[in-house]
Amino acid sequence: MATKDDPVIAEYDVFITPALQEQIYLLQYLNRPREKPYSERLGARPENVRVKAKSGFLEMDIDMHTDYNFNRYQSLKWGDAVQTGKTLQNSTATYGPASGFAVPRVRQPSRGLLKDKVERENEIFNGLTDFSSATHEGKALSSQTLGGKIIRQESTSDMAQPAYFVGAFRGNALHLSKVHGTVQMRPQFHHVDAEEQRNRVAASRVAATEADASRPAPPARALQQSYKDLNDDKDKDAPERKLRKMLQNAEEEEWASLQYVDEQEDLAFDTFNRCMFVPTETAKPLKSELTAEKYLDQVSLPRQDIYRRKKRPPRKKGTIELDGEEEY
């Protein structure tokens, strides 16, 4: 297209902000339109923001409107399951990858912890008669949980990974700040996992009660213990080993609470002006470490010559390779 058909309408000076002590994460809400952000202005302020920095997980709880389009019975039922899960599973009733797919704690739940069906229904009925009090006491599930895995942007060796920057305009200057990681915030169904776990524990307790107490004990078996050195570097780069290590870290690491600052608060504006801009008067000119040829090599795909002869895999000892037609 000719230049006169697509003229340049604006030019901006680009500035790169220095590395911040705070980390910048880009949160992507896949099930939320852009014009309806999670904010206090729209009555959807995130609460109880927590992070597992070592294993790389982020979650937040957002209160829901319980006055309309809300199933209070299910809210009380799932609230009871979550409270039970805090004792059976972990202190936050976290399930799935964020908990390392941890198994429940090995313990025999007492009757006071795990209510029977009639007792549970009576408590739910009492909660329906005074739902506001039940919500205030934490018996009802009145919030949704969003969370995801932090994809860090620290490695520069993998050219396939995108590098994100946050841009802020001030006059004719564009200030760019590097994003340390991205998180796709998806709904987390810990309450559903807690209810399923509760049903399994209740069923196992009933089966144990109905079992014959005079059943003979199983015969003793000899066990041989095997040990695998986790510090062995032989397969440290294997995907299975990396996955096991990540899940182990997620199970062992505790959640760290974060303070949420709404976008309309003064602290948010002060932090934005302090961290997202550099003084243009004292900023040093940017110098690229790449020459023009190196830059083209970086942005270009590897050259593949269709006429080059394919490299054959090395032959095994004791075998003879018979050449057929040449491959061109």
Q: What is the mean pLDDT of residues 261-272?
A: 94
pLDDT digits (tens, 9 = 90+) for 142-173: 999 999 999 987 655 555 567 889 999 999 99
What is the share, in percent, of the chain residues with pLDDT greater than 90? 48
**Is residue 141 within 8 Å of 78, Cβ to Cβ?**
yes
Domain annotation covers residue 290 = no
Q: Which residues contact 83 (CB under 8 A, 6 or more apart)?
A: 93, 138, 139
Question: Would you call 58 exposed, middle or buried from its count of C-beta atoms within 10 A (0-12, 13-18, 19+)?
Answer: buried
Please give the Cα distance from 201 to 193 (Å, whole number): 12
Locate 136 and state its tokens: 């205030």
The yes-or-no verdict on residue 29 having pLDDT over 80 is: yes
26 confidence band (pLDDT: 50, 70, 90): very high
With residue 177 as reference, give the H or E element that holds it: strand 173-178
pLDDT given for residue 62 in this prediction = 95
Domain count, the chain: 1
Distance CA 197, CA 204 (A): 11
230 is a domain residue: no
| 131, part of any domain | yes
Name the E strands within 21-142.
25-29, 46-52, 57-63
Whether pLDDT at 297 is above 60: yes
The 3-state DSSP class for residue 149 equals strand
pLDDT at 298: 78
Q: How confident is the model at residue 306 (pLDDT cuts 50, 70, 90)?
A: low
Residue 65 lies in a domain: yes
The answer to the question of residue 311 being in a domain is: no
Which domain does 258 fall in, by range? 13-212+239-274
Own/partner long-range contacts of 114-122 (Cβ < 8 Å, ≥24 apart): 114/84, 114/198, 114/201, 114/202, 114/205, 115/80, 120/77, 120/80
Q: Distance (Å, rounded) from C-alpha 237 to C-alpha 244?
A: 12
Q: How many CB atoms lie within 10 A of CB 50?
A: 19
Find the range with the poorest average confidence among 44-53, 63-72, 101-110: 101-110
C-beta of residue 304 within 8 angstroms of C-beta of residue 283: no
Q: Provide DSSP, 4-31.
A: GGS------EEEEPPPPSS--EEEEETT
Could you give the CA distance from residue 115 to residue 123 in angstroms, rounded to a whole number?
10
Going by the DSSP 8-state scheme, the letter that residue 300 receives in this structure is S
327 in any annotated domain: no
The span from the CA of 179 to the CA of 151, in Å, is 11
Helix (H) or strand (E) holding 178: strand 173-178
Element (H, E) at 117: helix 117-129
Q: What is the pLDDT of residue 233?
A: 57
